[in-house]
Structure formats: C-alpha cells, structure tokens
Chain A
C-alpha cells in the first residue's frame, strides 16, 4: 500500500515536470507567434528596414544570417567530422586523447560571448579579416565545433565493431574499412548532430556582435569581407537599442518568428535526414 503511494507520487511528480516544461515552451512559442504573425508580410521578408527601422522589412538580416551560416557550415562541418574520425578511429587510447576529448566536451560549455572575444582577437585582428561575414562565420564555426565533433563521434560509436572487423578480415585496410563500412552508416547521425549545432549557432548574437554584424546596413553583403545584418542581432537591436519601443515591438516579434522558423526548419532537415537513412537501412 505504502509502496504504491510512493510510486504514484513519484510518477505524478515526473509527469508534472514534463507538462510544465512543455507548457512554458509552448507559451513562449505561442506568444511569439501570436504577436509576430501580424508583422509577417511579403514586404517584411523581402525589403530592407526603413525609417530608422520602424518600417520596412528584414531582408538583409535574413540574407546575412544565411550567408554567415553557410560559412559556418563550410568551416565547421568538414573539420568537425575529420576530427571526430581521427579521435574515434585513429587516435591512440591514452591520457592525451582523453584530455583532448574532455577539453572538447568542456568547450561546448564556454559562454558564447567568450567565443566572440576570441573571434575578435584571432580572425578580426590577428588574421586581419576585419569585421566581416567571414570572421563571424568562422567564430560561429568554432562555437559549433564541439557539438559537431561530439555528435560525430557518438555517431561513429554506434556503428558495430563487427562491421569494422568484418571488413578488416576480408583484407580491407583500416581506411577502406572506415570509408566503405563505417562512414556510410555514421554519416546520417553525424549530419543530424551537426545541423542541431548549426541551428544553435544561427541564433547566436554574442559571437557575431564584434566580429561582423552591423547595426544597420541598407545593402546586402557583397563579399565574405563585408559586414552584414543578422536576425538575432537585429532582434537584439530592436528590443534593447531602439527609442521608439511602441513602433518596433511588432517588428521585433516578427523577426523573432522568422528566426525561430529558420531554426525549426534546420531541425526539421535533421529529422528528415535521420528518417530517410533509417528507412533506407531498414
């Protein structure tokens, strides 16, 4: 009897926890959707801001965010996957590898503003890339690397050892075994983890704050060395830096909605990739 009571109590406590989490998240999303949907229009998505950002759209910010995310992908995805393959398949099992792995895990906990400062010091100043799409993309790339590497390593670990052994026993070299009998089964997992990391990076403000994001630009970035507008920073500017709060608040909510849609879209791509490969693998 008493055991049952405890069990019921515990069960309900857990249920309360998950219901609360979903409710809070749902409320935030609903709030943004409700207040932002009114601002969404064709013009909002395709025009640049006008009249001191109280009118017009957010087109340059959308393009800037996409542009910077592309740089992040080009930089972080191959590098992260290569690092994961090395760490999981080739690196000797020793204290050094353990320290490296631990450091990578810890890097994912470093506040994003620290990445921003690092980006200024390395990309903007030392490498003279200036405040630009390139600097910001590379900075966001650094931010996503721990995620990419960790997710890719986990994906590689899910491939059974018997696939590797089976290939080796047939006379495959180590790289042949990895390339033909490990990577094909790990890549979907690697990609999903990577996309989740990218989705996070796309919404970051602090790392791009000093490395290339501009307060306001009436034109689009025309090279990797241009400054750019970005959705998260634009949102930040509208909400905290603008004097006419009443006029820009709807636009801020509209921007937030577009940003969330973008992130959800990226996550959706991850889900589709996973689903597609799972079906294929049967």
Chain B
C-alpha cells in the first residue's frame, strides 16, 4: 500500500431511513489493485460499494454522512456531477443485467448516451471492450443477436464489457460470480486478474476462497463496520483480530 490511494473515505456513515447500515468507514483503496470486501450477509459491504459510485442515491430514504474521495476530490461535493462520477467508476452487478437489446447495442449503450455517434469508432471500442472482457471470440459472429440469449457467465462478461466500454478508472463488482457455475466463475476471476493492470478494482464477495484468489487487499466487514483491512495474504494467514479469524475459518457467518 505504498502507492497513493485512488479512493479513500473519511468517517462515512450510511442510513436506510432510521437504521444505520455503515458506521464510520475509513479505508484507502490503492490503484491497480484488487480490493475485496468480505463479511457475512447484511454486513454493509455491498452498501459501501454502492457509496463509491453514488448508486445508493437511487434508493429512496437513504442518507450519507462523511466523505468519499476519488483522486483527492470528494465525490459527494455539491459541485460534482453524479453522471461524471458514474462514468469514471463503473459497476458490475450481482445479477447480470444485460439489456434486452443486441450484444452490440448493450456494449455501445454507455458510449451512445455519452453522445458518441461515429459508427466506426463505436465498432472499434465495442470490439476492444469485448476483447478485454474475454468474450469477443464467443460473440464476434453474432453481435446483432439479443444479449438475452447468452449463458449466465457470458451475460456477466458482457456486462463487464459494457462497463469497460466507457473507459472507467475504477471497476466496482458486487458479487459478480455468485450466480455462476465454477467454470464461469473461474473465467471471471482470470478476467479480474488481467483487468487490474488497467483499472482499480473493488470486489464484494461472499466466497472467501475467491477473495483469497483474486484480491491483493481484503477488508473484513461486520455489522456495518470495517473490522480489519490488510494484505490479503495477511488477512487469511495471520489476521490480527480474533473476529476476523473466526470468520475466515468458518466459525461464524
């Protein structure tokens, strides 16, 4: 963690109505690294992830306190355009959500709403995104077919391609492989490994082996607080706190 952080938070609290879901979150996330959030269901890890691209704002009755900095700028500052934040911070959802459009139109979606009309340029970026998401070979001959016809694993890689197409700096992944079979999961994990060259990746996962395999840094969440953050290897071999150890050894959670 020698490099300067890409994202950091200061005293972040988050509320769903009257109930507080996150308590005083302070964390630094370094660039070109994979940071994993682990913890039992309802511990706030997904909620925190959604604070990083302001997606929680789409839920009625939520409130946030504290600061989230990306490259030194508070993304919750009034002068900041939320659309700009979400272009810079891409997101892949737990349940793959291809739009009922063609494969090409799915990947081109973010570019088109961004105002890109040049057909050649669109085709070029779509191809690059699909290659980066390791799905190009499977779909290159049927770009005009509906994305709904793809398998679950392909749909999720398509969603990753769609997120990559707008060239974000950060990629948030909310349990991207939880609904996939082991082989599709492995492909996603290999992909994450390749993508960290270019992107800062934050991944939420229920699967501790997955966290151990793909991440450089792991943060353990429990009851809306970060209990421990460290190098993944340290967390899984020599955690400092007993709570962390109990969780990763499967004694609770």
Contact = CB atoms under 8 A, between A and B. Distances in A.
Interface of A: 93, 160, 162-173, 176, 180-181, 185, 281-282
B113 A282 contact: no
Contacts of A93: 60-61
Contacts of B159: 166
B86 interface: yes
22 contacts: A93-B60, A162-B95, A162-B97, A163-B97, A166-B93, A166-B99, A166-B159, A166-B162, A168-B58, A168-B86, A169-B53, A169-B90, A169-B163, A170-B163, A171-B84, A171-B110, A171-B166, A172-B83, A172-B110, A173-B113, A180-B112, A282-B100
B157 interface: no
A170 B58 contact: no
Contacts of A171: 83-84, 86-87, 110, 113-114, 166
Contacts of B93: 162, 165-166, 169
Interface string B194-208: 000000000000000
Interface of B: 53, 55, 58, 60-61, 83-84, 86-87, 90-91, 93, 95, 97, 99-100, 109-110, 112-114, 146, 148-149, 159, 162-163, 166
B146 A282 contact: yes
A170 B95 contact: no
Nearest to A93: B60
B208 to A, nearest CB: 26
- Where chain A touches its partner, the secondary structure class is helix
Of A169, A180, A181, which is in contact with the most chain B CB atoms at under 10 Å from its CB?
Answer: A169
A281 B166 contact: no
Given A162-B97, A170-B109, 11 more contacts: A162-B95, A165-B58, A167-B99, A168-B86, A170-B90, A171-B84, A171-B113, A172-B83, A173-B83, A180-B112, A282-B148
Given A165-B58, A180-B113, A282-B146, A170 B86 contact: yes
Contact of B58 (A164, A173, A181, A282): A164
B100 A170 contact: no
